[in-house]
A and B are shown apart, each in its own frame.
Chain A
Amino acid sequence: MSKAAFKNPFGSSLSRTLACALVMAFSTPALAQSIAITGATLAIGDGSEPIQNGTVVITAGKVVAAGTGIAVPPGAKTIDAAGKWVTPGIVSGFSRLGLAEVPGVKETNDTRAARSPFSAAIDVAPAINPLANPVAISRTAGITRAVVAPVAANGIFAGQGAVVDLGADLTPITRPRAFQYVEMGEEGKDDAGGSRAAMILTFRMMLREAQEFAKAPASYDGRSKDALLNRVDAEALVPVVTGAMPLMVHVESARDILTILSLRQDFPALKLILAGATEGWMVAPQIAAAKVPVITAGLEDLPSSFEKLAATQSNVGRMVKAGVSVSMGMLTGDDALQLRAATQQAGNMVALTKVPGATGLSWGQALRTITAAPAEAMGLGDRIGSLRVGRAGDVVIWDGDPLEMTSAPVAVWIDGVAQPLENRQTRLRDRYATPGEGAVPKAYEW
């Protein structure tokens, strides 16, 4: 494809632009024609192991069948994927995708608002830019959905995160206000004034204020000197205390995990999700018993802070073994850019099964941590994250084992809509496929 771009740069780029525009114009309504992908090594994403010669059928933007021995419906567009792998689109369990084009350039960075008077009420959904280049770059790597969280900048509560799709269109939101995000570890204590004791007290008092607001909205005085929350933030925490909105809690140490689990004694409706949980393996039975899902970094194995002293790559495997539902996401590293590290995280979980004394995951379990598990943690397991019947037609065809770093997608669908796999990086690659200036300056090669 790069050679073609050089032979006829204007023609190919125009057709590319046009193709992009068409996708953007028509992507919201799912295509009516069925798509059947056949002959693939097929992984469903639900934890089951890949099967040979699998077929996936997508109709009206949804998976209608996936497995072996499936008849291709008449009139379906059939895609032969023999020798290739097919998976559900990858779901990033944690990110800041679409909130920063260049994280280090503050003008482009919408992840945090240190000078805002608001915290819990902040809603990232309208700030997410589906045209940010990291979206297209992540899509090219097979990421089709992502959990997007705000960064806490004004107290322990960061605001409300969203679940997005990475389609090449202007409607990225799968679920707005999908969860509230709170810092309850080293970062949280700092946000709360300097100590964990203050942090826990702040957390309790803020939830009580939300309860007060729920009881009598009109009489809640968010401007009084004693109020910790203004009216808007108090209102935003009401669905958290009632359990209508999940609360994603960033904690790393075993101690902090137990603390947050125990807070449910006072606030029994809290629907918790643990983010981070680097020392989760130490208290895995308690997490499992509490039926709280975990989203973690996967490869964290250094005591990079004092709340991660027991870090080990076996954290995921040990928690899964104890019955915890574990997802992986960008809890460390470039959370706005490198969502494509998901397959590397998962692949390394498989590698651990061959390391004596380590605890890893089977291939199917590993894929689940970056597909069905994060979807389920967000309460969206019936809609996205796997190729089970009825789920969104988010499908990726890979040129090899998707958990190998030498593999890449050759086709991506989101909601049954074929996606472009070009981006700024592929265009730069094509421009500089040959070094040196040609007959015309590089600036004319596009």
Chain B
Amino acid sequence: MNRHGRWLLIAALLAGVAAPVAARKDKEEAPASQGSSAEPENPYPSTYKAYPGRPTVIRNATIFDGEGGRIDKGVVFLSEGKIVAIGGPDTPIPADIAVFDGTGKYVTPGVIDIHSHLGVYASPGVDALSDGNEMTSPVTPHVWAEHSIWPQDPGFGRALANGGVTTLQILPGSGNLFGGRSVTVKNVPARTQQGMKFPGAPYGLKMACGENPKRVYGGRGREPSTRMGNMAVDRQTWIKAREYQKKRAAGKDQTRDLGMETLADVLEGKILVHNHCYRADEMANVIDMSKEFGYKIAAFHHAVESYKIADLLRDNGICSAMWGDWYGFKMEAYDGIKENVPLVHRAGACAIVHSDDQDGIQRLNQEAAKALGAGRRMGIDISDEVAWTWLAINPARAMGISEQTGSLKVGKMADVVLWNGNPFSTYTRPEKVWIDGALLYDSADPKLRPVSDFELGQIGAGDVK
């Protein structure tokens, strides 16, 4: 009951607390730098640098390229952090470099989790490390998830070693209608969040519809307490954002507003919207809202009823990020079915398997396998290599990083997993994981697995987890 427990705990903690007044710009002394022209381009820049890697070849492996392609007895060649060559057994490779025999093994691009709270809801799950939901106002587009990330969360290492996860989007929670900015990170341990930040990845905006915002704020006797309240507060906020964005675009002077800056960037297509939404009817309302205000939704997250409106999602070019089999834990999840992912896929809409969970992120391949098997049983014949797009190019596209990663194409980041069997099997685990060409996990090398500061010197540190 990790997520429920956490949620209930947070709700209980806040139940008796008087709701603070939403941050208002007129209460604040204007900072020295006023006006949109003073908005810094990138105030918390990535300092991530790829670690050095050796030129490496894997051959005789079954390759899923992440875009739906498959190569049997394939060859992948990594060098200087990039994929240099990929192809069949005849692919030319230079002499005297490290060669791994992949016979009986599989190679895929690194798993991308589009929905994670690692670092913002870190392990251990104590109050002091609970930093994912700024539930003091339903509208908090001014908060940035990256400012909550604790890079020492042991969950990052587990996601790497057990899940082959090389890139993940860290989102604020879903207590608020506008939860704040998400950030995309590479799953490489660092001392700072800046050291993990995926260079050049666009920011996301976390939004939420449905039960959570109306329960949190309705429970305190304030707006929103209903689904119509959710929509009304959303729309009022977008009206303000549109005004702010117009002034900004016209170069007019106005006091900086962090939340409005984020929303204006959404309206200008620079920040991608990731909208937590379960029910089909609510997704349809949100789609209309996006048209009313002229922004694009990159993906609905959780989306347990996407299968009911797969055609609508396809026609609007919106991805669905879904669990393999979660259902029924709350009312809006009641209609969850295992066939959600394959039904969305078959309709021609973009399907993604996500975790939203520190345990699930270690087994996204198995979550995808559940959906794949359920789909096949109802006659939806999806091949393994096509299903791998749910963990690779599809999330990469929805996160705006598909030019850099998400598939094994020449010139892309060498984010690669060598699996010790078919990755849709329960019996399979990552054997080696490269990120930007650097070997950062090797199951055969006990020293080549991350031990976070939190775990160092504790019982079990460095154990096979």
The verdict on B221 contacting chain A, using a C-beta distance below 8 Å, is no
In angstroms, how far is the closest chain B Cβ from the Cβ of A152?
13
Interface residues as binary, B320-345 with A (CB distance below 8 Å gives 1, 0 otherwise): 00001111111101111111000100
Whether the pair B427, A350 counts as a contact (CB closer than 8 A) is yes
Whether the pair B372, A406 counts as a contact (CB closer than 8 A) is yes
Residues of B within 8 A of A432 (CB): 307-308, 343
The verdict on B51 contacting chain A, using a C-beta distance below 8 Å, is no
In angstroms, how far is the closest chain B Cβ from the Cβ of A312?
5
The verdict on B13 contacting chain A, using a C-beta distance below 8 Å, is no
Q: A303-B455, A304-B2, A351-B429 are in contact. Are A102 and B446 (CB under 8 A)?
A: no
Whether the pair B329, A103 counts as a contact (CB closer than 8 A) is yes
* Partner pick for A335 among B1, B125, B358, B459, CB 8 A cutoff: B1
Interface residues as binary, A321-335 with B (CB distance below 8 Å gives 1, 0 otherwise): 000000000001111
Residues of B within 8 A of A344 (CB): 363, 366, 426
Chain B, range 371-408, C-beta contacts under 8 Å to A:
372-374, 376-379
In the complex, what distance in Å separates the CA atom of A101 from the CA atom of B329?
Answer: 8
Whether the pair A405, B426 counts as a contact (CB closer than 8 A) is yes
Whether the pair B359, A405 counts as a contact (CB closer than 8 A) is no
The verdict on A309 contacting chain B, using a C-beta distance below 8 Å, is yes
The verdict on A435 contacting chain B, using a C-beta distance below 8 Å, is yes
The verdict on A63 contacting chain B, using a C-beta distance below 8 Å, is no
* Partner pick for A337 among B327, B337, B339, B363, CB 8 A cutoff: B327
* Partner pick for A404 among B327, B369, B429, CB 8 A cutoff: B369
- The secondary-structure label for the interface of chain B is loop
The verdict on A302 contacting chain B, using a C-beta distance below 8 Å, is yes
For the complex, count residues of B whose C-beta is within 8 A of A.
68
The verdict on A48 contacting chain B, using a C-beta distance below 8 Å, is no
Chain A, range 401-417, C-beta contacts under 8 Å to B:
403-408
- A-B contact number at CB 8 A: 179
The verdict on A306 contacting chain B, using a C-beta distance below 8 Å, is yes
Whether the pair A356, B125 counts as a contact (CB closer than 8 A) is no
Residues of A within 8 A of B370 (CB): 405-406
Residues of B within 8 A of A403 (CB): 426-427
Whether the pair B330, A104 counts as a contact (CB closer than 8 A) is yes
Whether the pair A301, B369 counts as a contact (CB closer than 8 A) is no
The verdict on A357 contacting chain B, using a C-beta distance below 8 Å, is yes
Chain A, range 265-309, C-beta contacts under 8 Å to B:
279, 282, 299-306, 308-309
Residues of A within 8 A of B366 (CB): 344, 405
Residues of B within 8 A of A350 (CB): 426-427
In angstroms, how far is the closest chain B Cβ from the Cβ of A351?
5
Whether the pair A435, B311 counts as a contact (CB closer than 8 A) is yes
In the complex, what distance in Å separates the CA atom of A355 from the CA atom of B2?
Answer: 27
The verdict on A433 contacting chain B, using a C-beta distance below 8 Å, is yes
Whether the pair A358, B325 counts as a contact (CB closer than 8 A) is no
Whether the pair A103, B162 counts as a contact (CB closer than 8 A) is no
In the complex, what distance in Å separates the CA atom of A435 from the CA atom of B380?
Answer: 14
In the complex, what distance in Å separates the CA atom of A314 from the CA atom of B460?
Answer: 11
Chain A, range 75-111, C-beta contacts under 8 Å to B:
101-105
Most chain A beta carbons < 10 A, residue from B4, B326, B366, B455: B366
In angstroms, how far is the closest chain B Cβ from the Cβ of A355?
5
Which of chain A's residues has its CB closest to B336's CB?
A425
The verdict on A177 contacting chain B, using a C-beta distance below 8 Å, is no
The verdict on B214 contacting chain A, using a C-beta distance below 8 Å, is no
Residues of A within 8 A of B446 (CB): 356-357
Whether the pair B331, A102 counts as a contact (CB closer than 8 A) is yes
Q: A303-B455, A309-B459, A309-B460 are in contact. Are A334 and B329 (CB under 8 A)?
A: yes
Which of chain B's residues has its CB closest to A340's CB?
B325
Whether the pair A405, B373 counts as a contact (CB closer than 8 A) is yes
Residues of A within 8 A of B421 (CB): 354
Whether the pair A334, B1 counts as a contact (CB closer than 8 A) is yes
In the complex, what distance in Å separates the CA atom of A435 from the CA atom of B372?
Answer: 19
The verdict on A429 contacting chain B, using a C-beta distance below 8 Å, is yes
Chain B, range 57-80, C-beta contacts under 8 Å to A:
none
Residues of A within 8 A of B358 (CB): 302, 304
Whether the pair B158, A404 counts as a contact (CB closer than 8 A) is no
The verdict on B124 contacting chain A, using a C-beta distance below 8 Å, is yes
Residues of B within 8 A of A (CB): 1-2, 4, 123-126, 154-155, 158, 162, 211, 307-311, 324-331, 333-339, 343, 347, 358-359, 362-363, 366-367, 369-370, 372-374, 376-379, 420-421, 424-429, 443-444, 446, 454-455, 458-460, 463-465
Beyond contacts A301-B465, A338-B325: 18 other A-B pairs, Cβ-Cβ < 8 A, are A104-B329, A137-B327, A302-B123, A302-B358, A302-B359, A303-B154, A304-B125, A309-B458, A309-B460, A310-B458, A355-B429, A404-B427, A405-B369, A405-B370, A406-B370, A425-B337, A428-B337, A435-B347
> 5 A-B residue contacts at CB 8 Å?
A399-B377, A406-B370, A408-B373, A425-B337, A436-B311
